[in-house]
Amino acid sequence: MDLETRYSAEDISRIIDQALVYQCGCPAQIATTLLELRDLFDYQVKCADSDDTNRRVHEAIARATVEAHARMELCLDEVLEIEGWDRETLTMPEALRSRPTKSL
């Protein structure tokens, strides 16, 4: 089973770069979750290579990770659309950049 990605690692870095703190960065939180899901998928692939590993356990992890990843990428699409990001350059809209952050 493969993990299909529509946002490259560079795309995700770009989104996170622009949302430095959690309080102003919903897309960054989703992007971080995508990276974690990719790490989990890579981990289970490596772990599944060992002989004594239960194949069904890894299939379950892989299936759930692929589904969750696809769902979170769709979620990122929606959030970027709602917030008005430039989808070509993945640039945060000016209105969001100048919005004051919440008190920490």
Partner 1 sequence: MSSNIAAEAAARSHAVLLVDSDPHTSALLVERMASRGHRAAVVPPTAEALRQRLRFERFDVVIFDFHHERPEELDACRLARSDSGGAPIVVLAAPGHATDVVEAFRERSGAVDEIVRKPLAGDGIFRLVSQLIARVRETRAGLYASLVSDGGRSWIDSGGKSPQLSEQAVLFTDIRRSTELVASVPLPEWFQAINRALSDQGIIVRESGGSIVKFTGDGLLAAFRGRGRSHLALRCGLALQELDRTSPYRDTLRVGIGIAEGLVMSGLIGETGRQQYDVIGATVHLAARLCSIANEGELVATPKLVRAAAVPQAAERPTRSVNLRGFPAPIECVSF
Residues that bind partner 1 (CB under 8 A): 9-10, 12-14, 16-22, 24-25, 28-29, 32, 35, 38, 92, 97-98, 101, 103-104
Q: By C-beta, is 59 or 86 nearer to partner 1?
A: 86
Q: By C-beta, is 54 or 103 nearer to partner 1?
A: 103
Smallest distance, partner 1 to C-beta of residue 77, A = 19
Residue 7 corresponds to which tokens in the numbers above?
């946002």
Residue 54 CA to residue 98 CA, distance in Å, equals: 51
Residue 99 CA to residue 18 CA, distance in Å, equals: 13
Residue 41 CA to residue 3 CA, distance in Å, equals: 8
Q: By C-beta, is 28 or 76 nearer to partner 1?
A: 28
Smallest distance, partner 1 to C-beta of residue 24, A = 7
Residue type, 37: L
Identify whether the C-beta of residue 71 lies closer than 8 Å to the C-beta of residue 9: no
